[in-house]
Structure 1
Amino acid sequence: MKTSDFNFDLPQELIAQTPLKERDQSRLMVLDRKSSNIDHKIFSDIIDYLSSGDCLVLNNTRVIPARLFGEKEGTKGKIEFLLLKQIKLDTWEVLVKPGKKAKPGNWFTFGEGALRAQVKEVTDDGGRIVEFHYNGVFEEILDQLGNMPLPPYITATLEDAERYQTVYSKHKGSAAAPTAGLHFTKDLLKKIEDKGVSIVYITLHVGLGTFRPVKVEDVNDHKMHSEFYMIEEEAASKINKVKKDGGKVVTVGTTCCRTLEAATGEDGILRAGNGWTDIFIYPGYDFKMVDWLITNFHLPESTLIMLVSALAGSNFIMEAYHTAVREKYRFFSFGDSMLIK
């Protein structure tokens, strides 16, 4: 299976630069895997597809202000850090621009010395392991100095940083938002719950590895980066019960989908707990827990379009994407949504 099999032409003007005024008024493309029909709705219509006894699984991670701008000590050269994941207390894996300025032993300063960092090592894929030094609480310093890590394809200024957070975000730790969840409002979630749908929250801290381009020609050769997840006992019990009773497990976003599949055994039982996952889902994968998926429209040749192709079928997904381009759907983080049923 070739990476190029997942390519498509996307006009630049279809990449959404700003969120809609109302979260739940984005468009919703509904893919029916049984009939191969494609319907066009509004996201608030999602409630019509959910039934009492179903389970809606959401990722309650919260994006941290992970982009830092500073300078190299001694030369005053400008530097940009993007925090990817916490290795241990005060030690993080980061992306650095320009990387040639960040060699092991080099020191960098942010916020006129409020935060300092020393490079400890270079990772296999060109990232850096750094140790931060500061006085006070790291999260508070990051709130003061950091910037929201919007994806590089978004060049417009985000007026309200909360629009890059879901309305149910809770646990800080992500370098990117679980964007399929951005379409939900608190009111819509209450209506869904009132319909008898179980709403369950799990956590996966999204790393940029999810969005990194696949650089190998053979999909089987691609290696995913690991991401940290948490599934509480109560959440696992609710999801397992819905599955056992014949309800649909509907995951919101590829992050929820990957988490559930990673934590579900071959016996079809979801295990509670914390851990790291580098699960890579692409066509040929046999889903153990996820029935339906709510997701956004993804980058060409990305691991995300490979995941949705595994669920809906490559030909159906590529047909849907060509339809989305023709119908001028909005793409990527602030774009429109898709339900695979």
Structure 2
Amino acid sequence: MRLFVTMLILATAIMVAPAHAQKNPILAKMEAEIAAENFGAITSVVVRQNGKLLVERYFDDGGKDALRNTRSATKTITGMLAGIAIADGHISSVNQPIYSFYSGRKFANPDSRKEKITLENLLTMTTGLECNDWNNPSRGNEERMYLIEDWEEFFLDLPLGFPPPWETPASERPNGRVFSYCTAGVFTLGAIVERASATRLEEYAQQRLFGPVGITEVKWPFSPLGIAQGGGGLELKSGDLAKLGQLYLNGGRWNGTQVIPEDWVSRSVQPYVTINESIGQNYGYLWWLQSFRSGDVEFPVWMMSGTGGNKQYIIPSMDAVVVVTTTNFRRPDAHQLTDKLLTEYIIQALGGAN
């Protein structure tokens, strides 16, 4: 039975693959490894290079038409929408204080330092509020947010937080900032885009981002108050995720139309805060920035990343976009598995490793 299922998966994958890619022995080996579940539950691999679809493989029943949960890769898309909203004049700049969008409202734990938190702090996860999804006791942990009706208020009520005394203070860190991974903050960023544009976030996204690049089918999750969750869970087709990566490779242009301002694309992939100095991992405007190695070649990557190792890699030096979707949600090594798939197979198939 296992052999039959493996053959069926491979047959399905090849059916949707470009003809010239079928002959690549590296990709054939990759498919066999995925079918044998040596990478857990990989559901799709899509690769574009030089503006063309190079690889499109599906390893589940959903196929190319399935909407796939991007998890926290959604955050990067919310960052794109913030850049568009600034260009549209709805938001003055990344330096606009976030509490200025809530004039007249009172929030808990008032502090003059909170009034200085800007949109850029939301984009770089450096607000200084006590919100850390990687720390279960954190009062801003996203699991606590889901128990509250008003998610904006949940975030904006938070007190200031600080690194514990045994950790390096902000003044001694690269870029001088403390990174704290906070889904509630990115949800609030999306809510601010909705407030500023006077348009529901999902509608604004369709009008100003998805529609112009030909994305017609999406599925948003919503807060109890009906605000689209810009912090995670947006469902898109794998091929449409690749389109968004291609949009960034194109400097924000799609078929001659400037969808995202070119300067926003450039600014959003600059390193504003260091996350893991030992592996050279930095953070832009809701983009993960890291260099990987395959063979003798090291290559920088802009990355959208979500739970389970769901990743969209943009590799400027190879003019390539790589989308990998998975359901490895409960595996502690999920991200490492996806990165291994990239470095050991996909990069070599692109001709980027010696």
TM, length-normalised to structure 1: 0.31
More strand by share: 1
More helix by share: 2
TM, length-normalised to structure 2: 0.30
Higher relative contact order structure (alpha carbons within 8 Å, sequence separation ≥ 6): 1
